[in-house]
């Protein structure tokens, strides 16, 4: 896997579900600012994950955990990480299923949509990381073209009212920072931890750091732009009430009397982004499990684990409202420890362990 492929993967992964769902909406019209602040936090997190990778460039997260913490504790933690990856994949699968049912297929059962979606992903993961990486290369171009033309159309149709973003920092900086560090940092930026499972496959090791920073920076900028765009098109009230604000913005495009009703744009964004986000989570889960249980051919686990992800995605919540509520709770009590606290501890342990070696 090349550095460029890592770049496209991280970017699509970051944009994945966040482009579609409301992001940092608690920060009101300063959502874009909260995203940028969270992005800065994301840089720190990435630097931490990179630090771990630097100590063990050949091993994925679930392996070096066992070296750092010893066999028993390490295996336990590695198993927890596999569960976290499975949950991550299932949660995003559910979000996409719900979105498609809401906006495009009202008469189709959620289970059928989720099943078809995971089937394609399972097939891709079965084929291995090379295939995921190459697909991302191709679809990255499509995503860029879509984003560019989407923004151009929004500007041309004249629905952007920049005054909606004002006043900047109405309530001061504290609510913005609070939003950034209680939500936006963990979703999507902290989720980069999944790449700790993928780093060992990258051939151009020297470029990992630069590529990662570049990809996170660019995705942060795009997300901030989209958040600001949504608010300036919809106004604060509509933007904060819409379950899919970007869809509402795109629906407001009307150019020259015939370029309108471009919902397909939104569905393409969602499909491409969601596809990669779930794939990467799922891939990490499969690889983690196969290392942990010493399965020789990891791809054999793809189908059974796909069924697990599908069932988890259905069992997570009984309604969309419940799902949103649950994700909020998970963000603080699961995402934060797995993405920040544990990696910090691991890094400290790794630092002392490796220092001993040198001496």
Q: Which residues bind other proteins (CB under 8 A)?
A: 102-103, 105-108, 112, 163, 166-167, 170, 234-235, 237-238, 248, 251-252, 254, 260-261
Query: Token match 């460039």: residue?
Result: 57
Nearer to other proteins, 166 or 355 (CB): 166
d(Cα 153, Cα 63) in Å, to the nearest integer?
Answer: 48
CB of 248 to other proteins, least distance (A): 7
Nearer to other proteins, 101 or 198 (CB): 101
d(Cα 27, Cα 302) in Å, to the nearest integer?
Answer: 39
Quick one: angle between helices 208-241 and 129-156, nearest 10? 50
- Count helices and strands in the chain by DSSP H and E runs: 14, 2
Nearer to other proteins, 169 or 345 (CB): 169
CB of 318 to other proteins, least distance (A): 20
Burial environment of residue 247 by CB neighbours within 10 A (0 to 12, 13 to 18, 19 or more): buried
CB of 277 to other proteins, least distance (A): 24
Nearer to other proteins, 108 or 149 (CB): 108
CB of 237 to other proteins, least distance (A): 4
Which of 27, 13, 337, 329 lies closest to 192, judged by CA? 13
Nearer to other proteins, 221 or 248 (CB): 248
d(Cα 233, Cα 163) in Å, to the nearest integer?
Answer: 10
CB of 252 to other proteins, least distance (A): 6
Angle at 230 between CA 269 and CA 15, to 5 degrees: 35
CB of 211 to other proteins, least distance (A): 39
Nearer to other proteins, 113 or 202 (CB): 113
CB of 137 to other proteins, least distance (A): 28
Nearer to other proteins, 202 or 239 (CB): 239
d(Cα 127, Cα 113) in Å, to the nearest integer?
Answer: 22
In angstroms, the Cα distances linking 61 to 35, 93, 242, 249, 334 are 27, 23, 37, 39, 17
d(Cα 40, Cα 20) in Å, to the nearest integer?
Answer: 22
Instruction: For residue 259, give the 3-state DSSP assignment.
Output: strand
Query: Token match 């936090």: residue?
Result: 41
Q: Are the beta carbons of 196 and 68 closer than 8 angstroms?
A: no
In sequence order, what are the beta bridge partners of 255? 259
d(Cα 94, Cα 91) in Å, to the nearest integer?
Answer: 5
CB of 110 to other proteins, least distance (A): 12
Q: Maximum distance among all alpha carbons in the chain?
A: 73
Tell me the two tokens of residue 192: 């980069």
Q: Are the beta carbons of 189 and 17 closer than 8 angstroms?
A: no
Nearer to other proteins, 179 or 232 (CB): 232
CB of 104 to other proteins, least distance (A): 8
Nearer to other proteins, 44 or 169 (CB): 169
């Amino acid at each position: 896997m090349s550095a460029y492929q890592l770049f496209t993967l991280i970017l699509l992964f970051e944009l994945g579900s966040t482009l579609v769902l409301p992001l940092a909406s608690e920060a009101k019209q300063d959502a874009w600012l909260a995203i940028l602040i969270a992005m800065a936090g994301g840089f720190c997190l990435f630097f931490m994950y990179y630090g771990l990778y630097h100590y063990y460039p050949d091993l994925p997260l679930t392996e070096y955990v066992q070296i750092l913490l010893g066999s028993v504790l390490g295996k336990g933690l590695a198993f927890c990480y596999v569960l976290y990856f499975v949950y991550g994949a299932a949660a995003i699968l559910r979000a996409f299923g719900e979105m498609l049912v809401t906006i495009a297929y009202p008469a189709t059962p959620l289970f059928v949509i989720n099943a078809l979606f995971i089937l394609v992903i399972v097939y891709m993961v079965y084929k291995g990381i090379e295939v995921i990486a190459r697909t991302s290369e191709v679809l990255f171009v499509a995503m860029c073209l879509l984003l560019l033309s989407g923004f151009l159309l929004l500007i041309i149709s004249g629905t952007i009212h920049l005054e909606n973003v004002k006043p900047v920092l109405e309530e001061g900086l504290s609510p913005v920072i609070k939003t950034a560090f209680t939500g936006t940092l963990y979703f999507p930026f902290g989720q980069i931890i999944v790449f700790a499972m993928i780093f060992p496959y990258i051939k151009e090791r020297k470029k990992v750091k630069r590529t990662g920073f570049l990809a996170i920076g660019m995705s942060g900028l795009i997300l901030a732009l989209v958040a600001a765009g949504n608010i300036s098109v919809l106004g604060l009230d509509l933007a904060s009430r819409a379950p899919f604000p970007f869809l509402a913005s795109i629906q407001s495009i009307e150019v020259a009397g015939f370029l309108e009703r471009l919902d397909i744009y939104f569905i393409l964004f969602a499909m491409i982004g969601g596809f990669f986000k779930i794939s990467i989570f799922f891939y990490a889960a499969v690889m983690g499990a196969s290392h942990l249980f010493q399965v020789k051919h990891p791809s054999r686990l793809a189908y059974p684990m796909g069924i697990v992800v599908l069932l988890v995605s259905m069992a997570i919540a009984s309604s969309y409202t419940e799902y949103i509520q649950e994700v909020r709770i998970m963000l603080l009590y699961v995402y934060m420890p797995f993405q920040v606290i544990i990696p910090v501890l691991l890094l400290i342990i790794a630092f002392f362990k490796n220092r001993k070696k040198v001496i």
